[in-house]
Each structure stands twice: as structure tokens, then as C-alpha cells.
Amino acid sequence: MASFKYYTLDVFTNKAFGGNQLAVFPEAEGIEEEYLQKIANELNLSETTFVYPPTEPSCDYKVRIFTPGQELPMAGHPTLGTAYILATLGDLYGKKELTMTLEEGVGPIKVDLVIDNGKPGLITMQQPNPKISEPFGDRASIAKLLSLQEDQLVPELPIQVFDCGVPYMIIPVKDLQSVESIKFRLDVYDELYQAYKIPFTLAYTLETVDPQNQVHCRMFAPEAGVLEDPATGSAHGPLGSYLATYEILAQGDIAFTSEQGYELGRPSELKVEIQKSGDEISKVLVGGTCVPIGEGVLKA
């Protein structure tokens, strides 16, 4: 029976027991392929990552990401949290910054880390530029999915899928009270998935709990075995791209802080920056901080 070290941490928070939970296996070679999904299901965190030597020459590590229900081609808090653990296992003495490139299912992902007193501080990932689908027309069904009335959605903005590595349906909601009242209906989701193959969904409003933040959101991913996620980095590239495309916060480049996870008792903060060249989005950046929680040994 082999032993494999793993670390747990909370991502997109500066306080323990906030943000989004993650387990990282920094040396996953030797774990049987058939066990990867079983381990993620056993740990039952939002995601678990397994780190390998890279197969792409331009990358420093290869990372595979699993929810309790499936493997993902890319994800935000697992990318940042894995970079945090890999950095802390290295020599950070005297360093002010560090850059690493992670090989994920969507290709190389560049990650920049600010080093503060020998520990990683702000960590920022660059996500692929967005792919944008046509607006989704059945607004009544989306309102029903969230247990809202259609007039609680923002009428002048589309419901639309943006994809920066993982597709998300972005749903603009009028106010904070409406977002807080959402009850995600799995029966309606099953109908919509069968009819339209709708992806994970993110509902947002510009009203926030913390006045220092600019956006409040909730994300639901039942297909991945995660009914609601407390902090979703892979959704915030699409969200930022949506806001920049429709010039909701400002024209041109935008930078904002989004809050998530309040309804789950795990407040999270995500830093998003979108750069534009003319009308086109040229760079998508999502960042945050991490808090180490624990470590253990898996015997398999």
C-alpha cells in the first residue's frame, strides 16, 4: 500500500474557513488512474488536484482537476491553490514574486504570485480569452430555475454563455435580495439540460454585502457534483468578460472585486481584471489569496 501526501487550503479568502476548499496532491505519480475520481469523491471538497511532471516543454507542472463528480479541463481556485502549495514547497527566500506555468486540460495557464515575507500573497491566473455564445432566449425558464420571477432579472441585459476554459451561463439579476433568495431547482435544471445542454450557471447583481466590492454572485454546478460553489475562479473570467463586453462597469479595461459564498457561510473575494483591445477582450486575469488549513497522507 503506497502513501501520498496531500495538503488542504481555503482559496479566495484571507481567513480560515472562508473561500473555497481544495486538496492538493503535489506528487501524484503512482496513484492509479482509477482512483483519481474516487479520491476526489472521498475527500468531497469542491475540487482536488493531482500534480505531475509536465508533458509540455513550456510548463512547470501538469495539473489534473477533479470535482466529486467529474474531471474539469480548468478551474480557478484549484489553479491558484495548487500554485500556492507548489510555491510553499519550494525555496521562496528573498523572492518578491514568482511565475509558474501549469499544464491543464485547456493548455498552459500562467500564474503570477506575489511573495510577501516568504509566503505567497496575491496569486493571479491568466485565463483563455472568452468564447461567446448567442444569448439564451428562454428567460422564463431561467427565472424558474432560480425560483425567481422573470421581472427580477435585468430586462435590458442578455442571459448568455461565456467560456474562458469552462462555459458558464451568466444571469444578471436586479438586486441583492433577489440573488440571496435564489433556490436552485434541480428538476428544472434537468429539463433545461436535456433540452439545451445548459452549462454551469452564475447569477450576479451589482448590489453587494460589502460596499468595497462591486459584484455579488452565486454559482451552481450540479453536473459536477457541486450544487453551489462558495468561490469560482473559472466563472469570474466569463463574468468579467460579460461585464466588459456590455460595458456594465466601465468602458474599456475594467478591474473589480467580486464577492461570493456569503449564502453558504464562506465569504470569498475574487479580484478580476479584463483588458480590451478595441472591442475585443485581450487578457483575462483572476486572482485571490489562500489560507493553508491542513495536511494528511492518503494510503492507496
pLDDT for res 255: 98
Q: Tell me which residues are annotated as active site.
A: 47
Q: Which amino acid is at 49?
A: T
- Cβ neighbours of 106 (radius 10 Å): 16
Q: What is the mean pLDDT of residues 42-49?
A: 95
CA distances from 224 to 48, 56, 93 (A): 12, 27, 39
The x, y and z cell numbers of residue 258, run together, are 467580486
- Sole residue written with cell 454559482: 219
Q: Which domains does the chain have, with CATH numbers?
A: 3-128+288-299 (3.10.310.10), 131-286 (3.10.310.10)
Residue 1 reports pLDDT greater than 80: no
pLDDT for res 269: 98
Confidence label for 144 from pLDDT (cuts 50, 70 and 90): very high
Instruction: Read off φ and ψ for residue 157, nearest 5 degrees.
Output: -115, 145
Residue-wise pLDDT for 119-139, tens only, equals 999 999 999 999 999 999 999
Residue 250 reports pLDDT greater than 80: yes
Residue 283 reports pLDDT greater than 90: yes
Buried b (16+ CB within 10 A) or exposed e, 3-31: ebebbbbbbbbeeeebbbbbbbbbebeeb
Q: What is the signed CA dihedral for 63, 69, 70, 74, rounded to 10 degrees?
A: -50
3-state secondary structure of 65: strand
Q: Indicate the range of 14-23, 51-60, 155-164, 219-228 predicted with least confidence.
A: 219-228
How far is the first Cα of the chain from the last one, in angstroms, to the nearest whole number? Answer: 6
Non-local CB neighbours of 114 within 8 Å, separated by 6+ positions: 96, 97, 120, 121, 122, 123
Where residue 235 falls (left for φ over 0; alpha for ψ -120 to 50; beta otherwise) is alpha
- Cβ neighbours of 262 (radius 10 Å): 20
pLDDT for res 93: 86
Say if CB 290 and CB 11 are below 8 A apart. yes
Confidence label for 66 from pLDDT (cuts 50, 70 and 90): very high
SS (H, E, C) 76-124: HHHHHHHHHHHHHCCCCCCCCEEEEEEEECCEEEEEEEEEECCEEEEEE
CA distance 30 to 254: 44
Could you give the count of Cα atoms lying within 13 Å of 25 in the half-sphere of its Cβ? 27
What are 218's strand-pairing partners?
203
pLDDT for res 300: 78
pTM, 2 dp? 0.95
Residue 76 reports pLDDT greater than 90: yes
Residue-wise pLDDT for 146-199, tens only, equals 999 999 999 999 999 999 999 999 999 999 999 999 999 999 999 999 999 999
Q: Mean pLDDT across the chain, nearest whole number?
A: 96
Say if CB 90 and CB 119 are below 8 A apart. no
CA distance 4 to 26: 9
Residue 272 reports pLDDT greater than 80: yes
CA distance 190 to 208: 30
CA nearest to 225, candidates 35, 83, 64, 41: 41
Instruction: Read off φ and ψ for residue 297, nearest 5 degrees.
Output: -130, 125
